[in-house]
Chain A
Amino acid sequence: MSKRIFTSLLVVLVICSAVFAGGQGETGPSNKVSIMFQGPDTEQAAIRDSARRFTDATSIEVELLFTPHDSYTEKLAGYISAKQLPDVIQLDAPNLSNLVWSGYIEEIAPHISDALVADMTLSNKAQCTYPIDGKLYAISQIDSTVLLYANKTYLEKVGARIPRSVDDAWSVEEFDAILAKLAALPEVTWPLDIMRSYGTTGEWATYGFSPALQSAGGDLIDRDNWEAGGAVNSAESIKAMEYFQKWAQKGWLVPSSGGDNQLYNADRAAAMAWCGHWLWAPASAALGGDLVVIPLPDFGRGTVTPNGSWIWSITSTSKNKDKAGQLIEFMLTDEKFLKDWAAIGAYPALKSFARLSPDYLDPDKMAIAFAQADYAVSRPPHPAYPTITVEFARAFDAILNGTDVKTALDKAAKAVDDDIEDNDGYPPFDR
């Protein structure tokens, strides 16, 4: 009897393969444009809906290539090696330099309208520019920032002042003192949540905390001579990281298995959170007026905030560049599309988009977050970025776990410099 079952399964398989197994889908110029993207359900829905409206308006079909976030880089690498890159790709801003340097994406300004380019915020232009020639190779409707969220009740209990603007931010010494006082409050288990639950060995570490280095006067890598030694392990960088180590060792940070909502869940065990703009939606829903938004602390040379989000580029191998440009132009001026993004609390990178996001203009809400865009420093736009971020993240994680700060940062510096040397300095970045 099992023989018959297997035979019938085999037959079913053969039929199904014949029916379903298709080839690749045609390539080359046709009335189609392909777009590769990632993101959670809500973002996917926004993109799909806009693509549908695009097809209705222009009769150009859109092939939607969704890839889960976790394997995005590998998929991209696969397309590249098989020489089958889609027409439009979404990429994480810090990887722009890597892809331009490798020759896979095009200058974007020729394919979109001047009006759209003028609509970009300064930070948006920063995240989409290739430093070597200063040209725009991408565009986005979204940007990001990281800031401090605090529970007003706790702050009032320790008598902390609430900064009114980014220039008014706490100094790191002030911040440190506030944390100490918060730790003494019985109802506070952890004064600060730096979102260790996101994992501090990944991009979050670099994105969320390299600004601290820059604010102290250090950096991930020297942006003139592109050397990591002397930058990521400079005295200023060490000083900044020592604060984080202190906070971790004193038990002031929410641990990685503590989840990501200690600020606003029923326990409210965390007094503050150092997190991205996306925390606003759930936190304000739970805390209401008790939530206050505060700029990142000044580690010595003024507050620095990160930026960068997922941006759209046209690939250099695309055979439908004009259609690609049309699609991007359409989406980024599609009001419904922008409204969908506003609904999920996205951080605007287009002035027109900002007008649709009242929360970001409200001084009692996220206005400070939007103001931080002027203090943003992009992550290093260098082709070695993948190594830079991995090494810094590893070092950051080790530091939180008690490794000597200088040792960890020295190791990171060496690894990055080794990588640059392995690639002959990534010419023309080696001048």
Chain B
Amino acid sequence: MSYPKHFFLILITFLLSSCGASTLSSVLSPAEINTKDIRKVAVGNFEIGLLAIKFKTERNGVWETNPFKLNEEQRKTISRSIRSRIINLLTSTPYLKVVFTDEFEKLENDASLQQLVSAGGYKTKDVDAVINGKLWLEIEKTDGVDLSKESLEYFRPPRTSRSLGLNLSVEQVVWWPYKSARGSMALEIKMTRLKPTEILASTFETRTFAQRIGGRNNDSFQNIFQGIATPFTSSKPEEADSIETSDEVIPSFEQIIADLAMSIASNFVRRVSITEKTVSLPIAKSDHPNTIILIEAGAYDLAIEQLQQTTAEDPDPNDLYNLGLCFEAIGDYGLAHTTYREAWQADSENLLFTNGLGRIEKLRRENPQLKRQLESR
């Protein structure tokens, strides 16, 4: 019955595992808005607009909600935790210098900050801008029960070649207890320049989180793939500092808040600061496997040496693309563009080459802005 499905899955797993090679490369992206005059920033308070944390229970269709009351210190901790995540991201590249002062953090809300800034009544010197925000957070954990009709099978093979077997299914009403966590966070973040006073950037974004454990068990594709992969896991030893986690455990409120805040903050930081990201670059198939493994291993200099020799003798478009990829990885965008273009001219139908060309053109477009921003430091 299900064997063809299993074979199909094995086949897909093999195909997926044999998919194209890739290499990881680190890329700097410029700030989306012009912040080159902003060098030093202070991070103010993150005001709490709404903070609702509750436990919900449901049995036989009757719902009960128990709000989880937070004291002032716990509310402050949540606000500080979000503030710290933003500082983490701001300080991950040496573009903006964060000035540690509690002068702006002490202010209750945005109105007080705007008032202080416009009146010029702040004492902290050498700050070009202040980042502050407001958050609305709702998290609920539920202990509930699903109800479903299940068919239970009973199979008895024939006892003799002449007798009949039995294969029947009986329907049952089954309760499936579950636990779930659902969270949504809306975060408004502002960057206000002090002199002249101006709101340089402002974002309002929302994120949601949901996890459910238990309930009716459906064998998802993910579970099946996990089942296949588990016995053949990588031989790489577990890192000594790797900590046990489980998808079957609902994270604590603190962890949910940290994850949601990080996600929103990263978008804001991309707007106001140079950011570094790691991208996966696909490698083209080649008749020279040595070059592929060199690129995969990040040995770009040696790969360039070998690919330059190879393409001088036989300018195969795949090798030209891989050469361009090495130049891209070491940050030589001019040469990368030339070589990608050569590969694309030889085979303009190839999506990989087109993507490479598109990627490098975007990087080259961003490069003057990035350069200006870097030089402004």
Asked whether A and B interact, the reply is: no
